[in-house]
Amino acid sequence: MSNTKSLRDKVAIVTGAGRGIGAEIAKLMAAHGARVVVNDLGGSEQGDGADQTPAQAVVDTIKEQGGEAVANYESVSDWDGAHRIVEQALDEYGQLDCVVNNAGILRDVIFHKMTEADFDAVIAVHLKGSFNVSRAAATHFRKQIGGSFVHMTSTSGLIGNFGQANYSAAKLGVAGLSKSIALDMSRFKVRSNCISPFAWSRLIGTIPTNDPEQEARVAKMKEMTPGHIAPLAAFLCSDAADEVTGQIFAVRKNEIFLMGQSRPIRSIHRAEGWTPETLANHGIPALAPSFYGLDRSADVFSWEAI
């Protein structure tokens, strides 16, 4: 167990904590003194099924290392279930200080073949799930004047990626949700931040490896283990992060990035107003040098993780 105990006396909920990034966050937070509600429905990468084994295994590991944790098997996509997660934290430990919205699924498919079910399922877990759990905790955070939210976003939404319209929309939505929470709840000393993780997990493990280039890409990604994400999440839930809110971070192996947020980068003005013709002849040509290309995450983060 850690000697620093930066999360001593804190109670945290970590969703999707049965495996991967969530499991590493839950274990590290417990090692730093937090009592943790380890939430995991136990579904597949696509969100099917319910296996209680992963969440309980993380709880067992935490307890073996001298920490405190309980398992929870609710679905974050269910409003009542999300409230039961918060209620369990309050019933078990009498308080709640941190929420890490990590639960997620993938249903990757090229856009023109994506079904309504593919879209709805991913939005329900990532975006609505983050809303549900955050909203359930918000009333308590407001009452106690304090709390920290950490939400998982993705460069698939912040930048772009192939075959992930559902996931990209959800993850960019999570960034907007986090900023709104930060703005609305700052008066109650409640913080809200995002992490965009680069890490090998079972979700990333669904990426096809049909050619040498894809195989090489996946091999490099395997070096970016979930454990690299956990320290930032633990920090953001600690009192040392009291002044950090409304931010978007990315973590890639040993690199931490502060990500940009949408701001004006160039403007045009015409005193008499614009017409389609003047836009074509003057307006858009003036803006075009600052256009963004059809970049994917891998195009922007083009160097190997260090």
- In-domain check, residue 284: no
Count how many domains the chain has. 1
Mean pLDDT of 116-133: 98
Sorted by sequence, the CB contacts under 8 Å of residue 126 that are 6+ apart come out as: 103, 104, 105, 167, 170, 171, 173, 174
R_g of the chain, CA atoms, integer Å: 21
- In-domain check, residue 303: no
User: Residue 115 has which token pair?
Assistant: 């079904």
Domain span at residue 42 reads 11-258
- In-domain check, residue 299: no
Q: What is the pLDDT of residue 304?
A: 85
- In-domain check, residue 43: yes
Q: What is the pLDDT of residue 276?
A: 98
- 39 φ, ψ to 5°? -95, 130
Return the amino acid letter for 143: K
More confident site: 214 or 288: 288
Answer yes or no: is pLDDT of 97 > 80: yes
Mean pLDDT of 204-226: 70
Could you give the percent of the chain with pLDDT greater than 70? Answer: 91
Nearest to residue 149, comparing CAs of 13, 27, 33? 13
CATH number of the domain that 138 lies in? 3.40.50.720
Mean pLDDT of 11-37: 97
Mean pLDDT of 178-189: 98
- In-domain check, residue 243: yes
- Sign of the four-CA dihedral 197, 222, 305, 216: negative
The pLDDT-based confidence of 2 (bands split at 50, 70, 90) is very low
- In-domain check, residue 139: yes
The upper half-sphere exposure of residue 264, i.e. CA atoms within 13 Å in the direction of its Cβ, equals 3
Return the amino acid letter for 223: E
Rounded Cα–Cα distance for residues 92 and 106 (Å): 32
Residue pair 98/147 in contact by the 8 Å Cβ criterion: yes
Q: What is the pLDDT of residue 44?
A: 57
User: Residue 24 has which token pair?
Assistant: 């590493």
Summarised one tens digit per residue, pLDDT across range 40-51 is: 998 656 556 567
- Residue pointed to by tokens 């003194």: 33
- In-domain check, residue 268: no
Give me the residues paired with residue 149 across strands: 99, 192
Catalytic (active site) residue 167: yes
Mean pLDDT of 84-90: 98
The pLDDT-based confidence of 212 (bands split at 50, 70, 90) is confident
Q: Minimum mean pLDDT among 4-8, 22-26, 27-31, 165-169: which range? A: 4-8
- In-domain check, residue 140: yes
Answer yes or no: is pLDDT of 207 > 70: no
